[in-house]
A and B are shown apart, each in its own frame.
Chain A
Amino acid sequence: NAGVMQNPRHLVRRRGQEARLRCSPMKGHSHVYWYRQLPEEGLKFMVYLQKENIIDESGMPKERFSAEFPKEGPSILRIQQVVRGDSAAYFCASSPGQGAGYGYTFGSGTRLTVV
């Protein structure tokens, strides 16, 4: 009964490279959320996806960031041409239904460091 699995746990990228963060939701969960935590900050919503659909991406930066949740496989958060300001912890959460009332389960996060 695995929880939300995120990999890699740590990722180091040079400026200008691409970062790919993966999230496998809990079994039976078809709703995935991505949050970003900058140093000394709370978690900030980025995007909400269901299988093959982006439901709400209003928290995503307009450029360089994209997310998908394909029919098969994990959800992917992709950051192109990374900059130092992208260094943060990225958390994925999943739930069995839409809305906080269903309960979210968070993964352990991916810590991205841009050098």
Chain B
Amino acid sequence: DQQVKQNSPSLSVQEGRISILNCDYTNSMFDYFLWYKKYPAEGPTFLISISSIKDKNEDGRFTVFLNKSAKHLSLHIVPSQPGDSAVYFCAASALNRGSTLGRLYFGRGTQLTVWP
């Protein structure tokens, strides 16, 4: 039962262009969303998050957009750099649902490759 879905296993983008990574979720109880970046043989590192009371959050080259009605979020990276090449995971949490307060639900990830 995959409650967070990343339907594109891979994305290839030229350096300097925009990378757009997409994520869909099914559980309407989710109210907090995060993006993690992961290099091989390392743990995930936090990139950016967004609360369901917002529809956009920006941090430098990274912007996350949330469309609650469509249960969809996206991560935009502008401009893309070769060092951005990694697997990107979308994750969701239900901050106000006591029994699963601590849990993150992850998508399967999208491998981003930024070529020169």
5 contacts between A and B (CB under 8 A): A42-B6, A43-B104, A56-B102, A100-B95, A100-B104
**Partner among A31, A56, A100, A107 whose Cβ is within 8 Å of the Cβ of B34:** A100
A108-B104 contact given A42-B4, A101-B32, CB 8 Å threshold: no
Q: Is the CB of B44 within 8 A of A108?
A: no
| Chain B residues within CB distance 8 Å of chain A | 4, 6, 32, 34, 36, 41-46, 49, 51, 89, 91, 93, 95, 99-109
Q: Knowing A43-B106, A101-B32 touch, does A56 contact B46 (C-beta < 8 A)? A: no
- Chain B residues with Cβ below 8 Å from A26 are none
Q: Once A and B bind, how many residue pairs between them come within 8 Å at the CB atom?
A: 74
* Interface pair B103/A59, CB less than 8 Å apart: yes
Bound CA span A111–B42, Å = 10
CA distance A31 to B104 in the complex (A): 14
Instruction: Write out the residue numbers on chain B whose beta carbons fall within 8 Å of the beta carbon of A43.
Output: 44, 89, 91, 104, 106
**Which chain A residues border B46 with CB–CB below 8 Å?**
103-105
Q: Which of B6, B91, B103 is in CB contact (< 8 Å) with A48?
A: B103
